[in-house]
Amino acid sequence: MASGLEQVRPRCPKALMRADTWRPERWLPAGAQPSGAEVTLAQLRLPGVTVEDAERESLRLRCERTAGTSGASPRPG
């Protein structure tokens, strides 16, 4: 099941209370929660980009950053 949001206003205390934010027993199980890539793609609405594409790119960028901080040069390509 997929769902979309038009706006999120996290600073609204009433919205947080209505969403049962403070009641862990009402949270989705960890396996039912969307991944970071799924959330990002839902917000950006990029046609033709899959969750797998986004996750692969995220991993690539993290590897480049890690290589850059260790003194090693990232491999081209």
Residue 42: inside a domain: yes
Residue 24: inside a domain: yes
Q: In the numeric block, which tokens belong to residue 9? A: 């206003």
Q: Are 44 and 58 in contact (CB under 8 A)?
A: no
> Band of the pLDDT at 1, cuts 50, 70, 90?
low
> Band of the pLDDT at 77, cuts 50, 70, 90?
low
Residue 28: inside a domain: yes
Average pLDDT, the chain: 79
Residue 23: inside a domain: yes
Residue 77: inside a domain: no
Checking if the pLDDT of 3 tops 80, the result is no
Q: What pLDDT score does 63 carry? A: 92
CA-based Rg of the chain, rounded to a whole angstrom?
17
Domain boundaries, position 46: 13-69
Question: Into how many domains does the chain fold?
Answer: 1
Residue 62: inside a domain: yes
User: What does the buried/exposed string (b/e) look like for 32-41 if buried means 16 or more CB atoms within 10 Å of the residue's CB?
Assistant: eeeeebeebb
Give residue 45's region: left, alpha or beta (phi > 0; psi -120 to 50). left
Per-residue model confidence as pLDDT tens digits over 21-55: 788 888 888 888 888 888 888 888 888 888 898 88
